[in-house]
């Protein structure tokens, strides 16, 4: 192959690499994530045009994270999809002994604004709280740690990792046993679905 042909081949390969890289460069993201917060919430009493039923509200556990997306594309105002992988370490009673086990859930969100504070959350139901703790009013006490990862449009952003534990511990959930008997729930799977609507990212519903 002579010099002219080698030069043309080099230019063609270089051009291909540039065309391949440009879409990736346009999808570079950085996240500003707050430390996860968890709280106990009583089941809401929702009034409606139906018979009034008496009940004593029980405690749900809510785990919440606030984050903000920054995009290298200044014209990008919304992310099509944000995926949050949740990991909650809970004290689970197995054979009379309390052991730390990880509950996990993946939730997809759509139409997520860029450059604005956004909240996402997961929940443990009152029955799940009682099964883990043995009490109706012990939601906060069942949690040992909360962590997770966030993907934006399928890519791993800068700082896309959150935890209540020291970040030096890394992704501690990778080294812990899973517990699949109790589900984590997204907000739309709870009676809080229609509450505080504008505060939370829009959950992608399965079709």
Q: What is the rounded CA–CA span in Å between residue 58 and residue 137?
A: 7
* Residue 192 confidence (pLDDT): 95
Buried b (16+ CB within 10 A) or exposed e, 93-102: eeeeeeeebb
Q: What is the rounded CA–CA span in Å between residue 95 and residue 76?
A: 52
pTM of the model: 0.82
At CA 145, angle to CA 79 and CA 62, rounded to 5?
60
Q: Token match 């045009």: residue?
A: 49
* Residue 32 confidence (pLDDT): 96
Q: Checking DSSP bridges between strand 59-71 and strand 37-42, what pairing results, if any?
A: antiparallel
Q: What is the rounded CA–CA span in Å between residue 33 and residue 31?
A: 6
Do the beta carbons of residue 144 and residue 163 sit within 8 Å?
no
Structure tokens at 77: 């105002």
* Residue 63 confidence (pLDDT): 95
* Residue 22 confidence (pLDDT): 47
Q: What is the pLDDT along the chain (207 residues), one digit of tens a residue?
A: 555 555 555 555 455 444 444 444 446 999 999 999 988 899 887 766 677 778 888 889 999 999 999 999 999 999 999 999 999 999 887 777 888 899 999 999 999 999 999 999 999 999 998 888 878 877 678 888 999 999 999 999 999 999 998 877 889 999 999 999 999 999 999 999 999 999 999 999 876
* Residue 130 confidence (pLDDT): 87
Q: What is the rounded CA–CA span in Å between residue 38 and residue 20?
A: 42
Structure tokens at 126: 């009152």
* Residue 3 confidence (pLDDT): 52
CA distances to 114, 145, 166, 167, 188 from 75, rounded to whole Å, are 10, 37, 35, 32, 31
Structure tokens at 63: 């785990």
Q: What is the rounded CA–CA span in Å between residue 126 and residue 67?
A: 27
């Amino acid at each position: 192959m002579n010099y002219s042909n080698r030069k043309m081949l080099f230019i063609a390969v270089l051009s291909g690499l540039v065309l391949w890289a440009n879409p990736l460069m346009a999808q570079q993201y950085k996240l500003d994530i707050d430390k996860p917060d968890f709280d106990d919430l009583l089941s809401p009493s929702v009034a409606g045009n139906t018979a009034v039923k008496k009940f004593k509200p029980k405690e749900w556990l809510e785990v919440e994270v606030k984050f903000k997306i920054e995009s290298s594309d200044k014209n990008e105002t919304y992310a099509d999809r944000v995926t949050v992988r949740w990991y909650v370490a809970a004290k689970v009673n197995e054979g009379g002994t309390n052991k730390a086990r990880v509950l996990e859930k993946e939730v997809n969100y759509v139409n997520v604004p860029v450059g604005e504070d956004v909240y996402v959350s997961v929940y443990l139901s009152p029955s799940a709280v009682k099964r883990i703790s043995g009490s109706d009013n012990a939601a906060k006490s069942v949690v040992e740690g909360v962590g997770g990862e966030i993907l934006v449009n399928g890519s791993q952003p800068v700082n896309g990792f959150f935890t209540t534990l020291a970040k030096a511990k890394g992704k501690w959930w990778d080294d812990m046993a899973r517990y699949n008997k109790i589900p984590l729930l997204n907000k739309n799977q709870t009676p809080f679905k229609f509450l505080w609507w504008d505060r939370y990212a829009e959950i992608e519903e399965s079709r």
